[in-house]
Structure formats: structure tokens, C-alpha cells
């Protein structure tokens, strides 16, 4: 295995899915929920958007891309760590995926297995905690 500092987002996504396979469906659900929330609240979110690094339109494009991936591959994403990582952590889509993962991990009840998962998310993706 590569040292953490040499891992790219695809490597980190695959590692997370390998270590916590029981969380993968929750990650996929959080992507779907985030897409639905953005679509349901687009007007309000667009008018109050404050992220100066990522435009609302770009965030919506990433949400649409994630929605297309989850719709196209479905349950296969939960079965294959390689497919999961290659599709959801390669390129700009990783920004959306990681943003959803960080929020999903923070919202889990404080059970021991969730705490370990949350610590792994923080270790792998701590620099993404400021995403919208």
C-alpha cells in the first residue's frame, strides 16, 4: 500500500470502501440525497451560495454527474471497490463525493463503528471539510 501522502483520491476512495464496506451504501445514499436536496432547493441555494471557489452551477453539474453514475451502475458500485473508487473519486466528481462523505460521516450516530469510520474519513479527507 502507498503511504497516505502519495495516495490520490481514487486510492483513498478504494481504501475507504475496502476498510468500511458496510458504509458504501450509505455513501451512495448520501450522494442521491444531496442531489435531490439540491434539485428541490435550487432557487434558495443558488441565491444564498457563498462558496467563492466553487460556483453553484459547477456544484450542480457534479451532483448531476454523481446521480448519473449511481443510476448507471447502481448496486455494482457497492459490490466493487474498484468501480466505486474509479467512478466517484476520479477527477472533479471527487469534490462532490468527498463533500458528501464528510457530511455523511459527521451525521452518523456516535456508535463505535461509526466513530472509527468518521476518524478514517477525517484522516483521508480532512482537507475537504470546508466544502459546501
pTM beyond 0.85: the answer is: yes
Structural domain range at position 102: 10-16+23-42+52-128
CA 116 to chain centre: 17
Tens-place pLDDT, residues 1-40: 889 889 999 999 999 999 999 999 999 999 999 999 999 9
pLDDT in tens, 33-83: 999 999 999 999 999 999 888 999 999 999 999 999 999 999 999 999 999
Which cell is 24 given?
A: 458504501
User: Looking at the domain assignment, is residue 2 inside a domain?
Assistant: no
Domain assignment present for residue 5? The answer is no
4 within a domain of the structure (yes/no): no
Q: State the total domains in the chain.
A: 1
Amino acid at each position: 500500500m502507498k503511504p497516505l501522502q502519495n495516495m490520490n483520491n481514487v486510492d483513498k476512495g478504494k481504501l475507504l470502501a475496502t476498510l468500511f464496506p458496510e458504509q458504501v451504501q450509505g455513501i451512495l445514499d448520501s450522494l442521491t440525497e444531496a442531489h435531490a436536496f439540491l434539485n428541490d432547493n435550487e432557487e434558495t441555494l443558488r441565491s444564498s451560495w457563498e462558496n467563492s471557489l466553487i460556483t453553484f452551477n459547477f456544484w450542480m453539474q457534479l451532483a448531476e454527474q454523481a446521480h448519473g453514475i449511481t443510476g448507471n451502475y447502481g448496486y455494482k458500485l457497492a459490490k466493487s471497490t474498484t468501480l466505486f473508487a474509479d467512478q466517484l473519486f476520479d477527477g472533479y466528481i471527487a469534490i462532490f463525493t468527498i463533500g458528501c462523505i464528510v457530511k455523511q460521516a459527521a451525521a452518523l450516530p456516535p456508535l463505535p463503528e461509526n466513530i472509527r469510520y468518521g476518524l478514517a474519513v477525517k484522516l483521508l479527507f480532512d482537507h475537504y471539510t470546508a466544502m459546501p
